[in-house]
Structures are given as C-alpha cells and as structure tokens.
A = this chain, B = another copy of it.
Amino acid sequence: MKIPDISISACGYSQVLEIISNKWAGSVIYALEDGTLRYGEVKNRIEDISQKMLTQTLKQLERDGLVRREVKPSVPPIVEYSLTDLGETLIPCMRMLKGWALNHYSSVNKAREEYDRTN
C-alpha cells in the first residue's frame, strides 16, 4: 500500500499563505475592512509599519486583485485604497484565524513555556 503524497492537497493551502502570510498583509486587509482609506490613513492605523513595507504590501495586494488603488489627480496627490470584492471574500477566513488565536493562543504560550523549561 502506497502512502499518498499530500503535497498536492496541501498546495491550495500554500497558495493562500503565499498571499496572506507576509508580515503585514493581514494588518492591511484589516485596516481596509471598514472601507476606503487614503495611504496615510492606512499607515496611521498600523502602528509599526514602515513606509517601505506598506507600499510594498499594498502593491502586492493590488497585484493579487485583493485591493483597489485609485488616484485622484490633484496636488498634493490623493490615493485611496479599498478592498475589492475578491478581497472581501477573504475576511471570513481571517476572522476565523483570529478567532482561533484568541481562543487558543494562551494554550500555545503555555506549551512553549513548558517545552522551553524541560528542553
């Protein structure tokens, strides 16, 4: 009996992670959850993000079709970001992840302390 290779079934999983696993993507999606924000507003809502990483993350999310970028031609420039319909579909997943964390993260921390004490 051959043991099945699960790489393929796990593959969908790694594709999502490719999108949301970077350090800031989640925070950006959360920030845009309530509606449209200007660049600076996004930055203000995410305390420790650097300007470089915010720009880079927004660009990646735009490329993935999750975030929409609109430039109002004016001086000084106004650039607004919002979730696309596709981006909205990700919200339930992220809520579930966050829910898991809130419910179980203390267990994880206890396990870590225990592990670090005995190893």
Contacts and interface: CB of A to CB of B under 8 A. Distances in A.
Given A5-B47, A86-B108, A13 B27 contact: yes
A94 interface: yes
Interface in A12-37: 12-17, 19-21, 23, 26-27, 30-31
Interface residues of A, number: 56
A108 B102 CA distance: 29
Contacts of A86: 104, 107-108, 111
Contacts of A99: 12
Interface of A: 3-7, 9-10, 12-17, 19-21, 23, 26-27, 30-31, 41, 44-48, 62-66, 86, 89-90, 92-94, 96-105, 107-108, 110-112, 114-116
